[in-house]
Amino acid sequence: MDNLTHTLFALTLARTPLGRARGTTVALVLASNAPDIDIVTTLGGAAEYLKWHRGPTHGPLGVIGLGLVTAGIVWAGRRFRSQRSEGRGERSEGRGQMAEGGGLRAERGAFAPLFVASLAGVFAHILMDLPTSYGTRMLSPFSWRWFALDLMPIIDVYLWIILTAGLLLGARSQDLRKKMTATALLLMAGNYGIRAVSHQQALATAAERHGPALPAPCEPAAAFGSLLDSWPQSGAARAGARCLVDTAAIPSFASPFEWRVIAQLPDGYLEIDGSDAVWIPNQWTPLVERAATTRTAQVLLGFSRFPAARVLVEPPGTAAVQFSDLRFSTGPDNPQLRARRSTLFTATVRFGPHNEIVEEKLGQ
């Protein structure tokens, strides 16, 4: 999810028993955004960001490590403020010495609730990323496989409305705070539930309309109806067997009832949007195979769930190979869908007149 959603959810959690202890609200907000610290990899360029985003900071070591770091930062900030207040002579010298000893003991004892809140914040971040079609590598660095539930777009305006309304209405009184927090959490659960049902219905409809014309699944998980998805695909798909490699229903930004279904075969994709179905070829010629060995293409292919390759004819004697992830782009034959194409999730490799590689980049 986007960082605004993570922050709003953290503030909502802070109104539950998780936020009772002093400093836990700050810890929850910081921890709920901490896994996205991998944005620093953009200093190395877009390819580095795509390579590392939702990697180790979203895995088991990231949960523990970021939880400890966040709790430590908040705890140290509290202790620093406490020492500054005492140094200003706000109490008499004798009472100040007694308070200092008690205050330091209290600060030491306060680390545990800060750590619990920080762990909850980091873990909530990962749980909210998992249902997005982008997915997350929640076992990295032990496994670099991607996992996704495909229920949510990266930005869900309905979560914005639910969480913002709950926070604003709950600010009026303590009694309303509890009621609106509970209501917001229930409405969130309802939003996810509606999307889960609608997601399965979209897959079932696609299977009914187009399933008979498609080959049998390579593996049971590739069949229409799978909820938890994982990639990259295993051996049967890579071997080029004539079978259904993977299927997915990709959510739309505007409505939880609109889905774009993708069915992957070894030589292309069937893209289903409502009543429209478009065939997108994915032919890996020797030129495509060579382009796929470049660093930029490898980064995109390591991220992409549905990589589609096409060869673009350019000025005489030159050519370009373009790789796109169909979750965030689409085939060239559907102008309405093509408008959704994202520049980040496309890699282009250009060849010169002697088939030498002259350029590789992310973007259109």
Q: Note the pLDDT tens digit of each residue in 275-294.
A: 789 999 998 999 999 999 99
242 confidence band (pLDDT: 50, 70, 90):
confident
pLDDT of 333: 47
Q: Model's pTM, two decimal places?
A: 0.88
pLDDT at 258 over 50: yes
Averaged pLDDT for residues 136-163? 96
CB-count burial class (<10 Å; 0-12, 13-18, 19+) for 295: exposed
Ranges assigned E (strand) in 289-337: 307-313, 319-325
Residue 351 has pLDDT above 70, yes or no: yes
pLDDT digits (tens, 9 = 90+) for 162-214: 999 999 999 988 889 999 999 999 999 999 999 999 999 999 999 999 989 88
> Do 241 and 141 meet the contact criterion of CB atoms below 8 Å apart?
no
| Burial class, 95, CB count within 10 angstroms (exposed 0-12 / middle 13-18 / buried 19+) | exposed
CA 360 remoteness from chain centre: 26
Q: CA angle at residue 225 from 220 to 227, to 5 degrees?
A: 90
- Exposure b/e, 166-187, CB count within 10 A at least 16 = b: bbebbeeeeeebeebbebbbeb
pLDDT tops 50 at residue 296: yes
Residue 100 pLDDT level (bands cut at 50, 70, 90): very low
Q: Which two tokens stand for residue 89?
A: 């002579």
Distance separating alpha carbons of residues 297 and 323, to the nearest angstrom = 7
Count of CA atoms in the C-beta half-sphere (13 A) of 7: 6
Residue 99 predicted with pLDDT over 70: no
Enumerate the domain spans of the chain.
Answer: 3-148, 286-362
Band the pLDDT of 343: cuts 50, 70, 90. Answer: low
Whole-number pLDDT of residue 330: 60
How far, in Å, CA of 192 to CA of 256, rounded? 9
Residue 77 in this model has a pLDDT that exceeds 60? yes
- Give the residue among 355, 350, 351, 345 at the shortest CA–CA distance from 308: 345
- Return all residues near 293 (Cβ < 8 A) that are at least 6 apart: none
Residue length, the chain? Answer: 364
